[in-house]
Amino acid sequence: MKLKIHSLSRQMSVCYKNSVTESILARPSPPVLKKRLLTRQQDGNKLRINNMIERLEFKKHGIKCQNISEIIKCLYPTKFSRLRLGNGSSYRNKQLEKLGRDLLLLTVNQTFLNLFKKSQQDIAGFDFNFGAKMNYMSSWKKNHLSLIRRFLKWNDLIDLARLPAPRSQVPQRIQIAFDQKTFDAIIGYISVTNDPEAVNGFLKEKVAKQIAQNIILG
């Protein structure tokens, strides 16, 4: 009897998590991020951002967070917000998310171009055939999005995103997917508020290099 109750309890928990997941994913137009929510979660948000700054060594690579109160908006990937820059312009969080994702994938691809042994098929010194040379590798090593998600895990940047549900009720795969969206948006933000050379160096040295090392050694 106890076993049946325990089994039923687990099934109910799974069903609840699935309903939470569907609720998070199925919103056609994201709600606007409210100031009162930012105020209520201010302290926790600052801890999240400062932890990321420290773990990814922003200062060492010359990366500055121009306005913490603006970058914090990146922590809410399921809500709509507009991040203001110091020059009077602004970006939607979804715009920064796309920009950051594209920059990350570009940097990882550039690293892969130089990663493998040179061959006669190289063009201008770059190995554009690196995909074929990765055929023997595990599937996660060939999936750029999976690599970025693993990068977040390697650097203990899990639970970065704020989601509209208790953390205990959000499946890990959903949390890490939104953590990636948050990270993409943060990268997008720093790319438009910092020197391009500093951002490029940071992405190559701190992100792509670590990913490449784990591909080879992992």
* Domain-wise residue ranges, the chain: 45-217
d(Cα 51, Cα 32) in Å, to the nearest integer?
26
Instruction: State the angle between helix axes of 144-154 and 209-217 in degrees (0 to 180), rounded to the nearest 10.
Output: 100
Residues in contact with 8: Cβ distance below 8 Å, sequence separation at least 6, in sequence order: none
Confidence of residue 126 (pLDDT cuts 50, 70, 90): low
Residue 64 Ramachandran class (φ > 0 left, ψ -120 to 50 alpha, else beta): beta
Using CA atoms, how far residue 15 sits from 18, 20, 24, 25, 159, in Å, is 5, 9, 14, 15, 22
Q: What is the pLDDT of residue 41?
A: 97
Mean pLDDT estimate for the chain: 83
Q: Tell me the pLDDT tens digit for each residue of 53-78.
A: 999 999 999 999 989 999 999 999 99
On the question of pLDDT at 5 being above 50, the answer is no
Paired with 82 in beta bridges are: 92
Residue found under tokens 């940071």: 202
CATH 2.140.10.10 fits 45-217, yes or no: no
Whole-model pTM?
0.79
Instruction: State the angle between helix axes of 93-115 and 172-193 in degrees (0 to 180), rounded to the nearest 10.
Output: 90
Taking 3-state DSSP, the helix, strand and coil percentages for the chain, each rounded to the nearest 5, stand at: 65, 5, 30
Q: Tell me the pLDDT tens digit for each residue of 16-66.
A: 455 545 545 555 578 999 999 999 999 999 999 999 999 999 999 999 998
Torsion 130-132-137-138 (CA) sign: positive
Average pLDDT over residues 118-123: 56
Q: What is the pLDDT of residue 200?
A: 96
Nearest to 66 by CA among 154, 211, 189, 197: 189
Average pLDDT over residues 4-27: 50
On the question of pLDDT at 150 being above 60, the answer is yes
